[in-house]
């Protein structure tokens, strides 16, 4: 489903980022002590220094905040994928949370700042059998 090869790089899943990369939802890290949210998830709460976290799930709708169109393949394995778009999406329910992804189902020249997009999940099975769900975006 992605715009890159099916066997392209996957994220390393850790206890801190597991919800984000495997839940198939926009599960944003929230501090259990002070309620501050932070994305990407971190080891320590930036607001209160807390170590305990939960997640808050937001609706899969967002707006393109910025983007780039990659024309030069910085790795040979991406030569057939260019040009591809990488977008930075501001979540409609949490505009301070910005999420990186690719945009599927649209020519790259139609991508623009302010474009409404909808999250979809690209389910991949890693080399160790772990199921990873990468958020991607399509026009809303």
Q: 21 vs 58, which CB is nearer to other proteins?
A: 21
Choose among 87, 93, 124: nearest CA to 108. Answer: 87
**Under 8 Å CB-to-CB from 2, ≥6 apart: which residues?**
8, 102, 104, 122, 134, 136
Q: Which token pair is 40?
A: 């990407």
Interacting residues toward other proteins by CB under 8 A:
3-4, 8-12, 17, 21, 38-40, 46, 65-72, 74-75, 77-78, 81, 83-84, 86, 88, 96-102, 113, 126-127, 134
User: Cβ of residue 9: shortest distance to other proteins, in angstroms?
Assistant: 5
User: Cβ of residue 83: shortest distance to other proteins, in angstroms?
Assistant: 8
Q: For 63, phi and psi rounded to 5 degrees?
A: -130, 135
User: Cβ of residue 32: shortest distance to other proteins, in angstroms?
Assistant: 20
Q: 10 vs 33, which CB is nearer to other proteins?
A: 10
User: Cβ of residue 95: shortest distance to other proteins, in angstroms?
Assistant: 11
Q: Which token pair is 25?
A: 């939802």
Other Cβ atoms closer than 10 A to 87: 25
User: Cβ of residue 96: shortest distance to other proteins, in angstroms?
Assistant: 7
Q: 8 vs 139, which CB is nearer to other proteins?
A: 8
Q: 10 vs 139, which CB is nearer to other proteins?
A: 10
Q: 50 vs 83, which CB is nearer to other proteins?
A: 83
Q: Say what the alpha-carbon torsion angle 129, 135, 138, 140 is, to the nearest 10 degrees.
A: 130
**Bond into 110 cis (ω within 30):** no
Please name the helix (run of DSSP H) or strand (run of DSSP E) that holds residue 90, with its range, or none: strand 84-91
């Amino acid at each position: 489903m992605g715009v890159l090869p099916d066997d392209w790089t996957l994220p390393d899943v850790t206890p801190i980022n597991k919800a984000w990369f495997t839940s198939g939802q926009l599960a944003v890290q929230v501090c259990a002590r002070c309620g501050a949210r932070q994305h990407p998830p971190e080891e320590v709460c930036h607001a209160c220094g807390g170590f305990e976290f939960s997640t808050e799930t937001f609706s899969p709708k967002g707006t393109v905040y910025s983007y780039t169109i990659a024309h030069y393949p910085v790795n040979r394995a991406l030569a057939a994928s260019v040009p591809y778009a990488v977008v930075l999406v501001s979540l409609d329910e949490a505009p301070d949370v910005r999420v990186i992804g690719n945009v599927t189902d649209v020519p790259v020249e139609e991508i623009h700042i302010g474009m409404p997009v909808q999250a979809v999940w690209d389910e991949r099975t890693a080399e160790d059998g772990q199921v990873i769900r990468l958020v991607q975006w399509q026009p809303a």
